[in-house]
Structure 1
Amino acid sequence: MFKLDNKVAVITGGGSGIGRAIATIFAQQGAKIYIIDVDEKGAEDTVKAITDASGEAAFKKCDISSKEQVDNVIGEIIAESGLDILVNNAGIAHIGNIEQVTPEAVDRLFAVNVKGMYHTIFAAIPHLKKKGGVILNMASIASLVGITDRFAYSMTKGAVNGMTLSVARDYLSYNVRCNSISPARVHTPFVDGFLTKNYPGREEEMFKKLQASQPIGRMGKPEEVAYLALYLCSDEASFITGNDYAIDGGFTKLNN
Structure 2
Amino acid sequence: MSVTHRRMTKADLGLVLDWAAAEGWNPGLDDTAPFHAADPDGFFIAVEDEQILAAISVVNHTDDYAFLGLYICAPEARGRGIAYELWQTAMAHAGERTVGLDGVPEQQENYIKSGFELVGSTVRHTGPLASGPAADTRPANAADIGRMTELEAVASGVAKPRFLTQWFRPAPTRHGFITADGTGMVVIRECRDGYKIGPLVARSDVQARNLLQAAAAISGEADVSIDVPASDRTLTGICRELGLAPGFETARMYRGAPIFESDMLYAVATLELG
TM class, shorter-chain normalised? under 0.3
TM-score (norm 2): 0.26
Larger helix proportion of the pair = 1
| TM-score, length basis structure 1 | 0.28
* Larger strand share, 1 or 2: 2
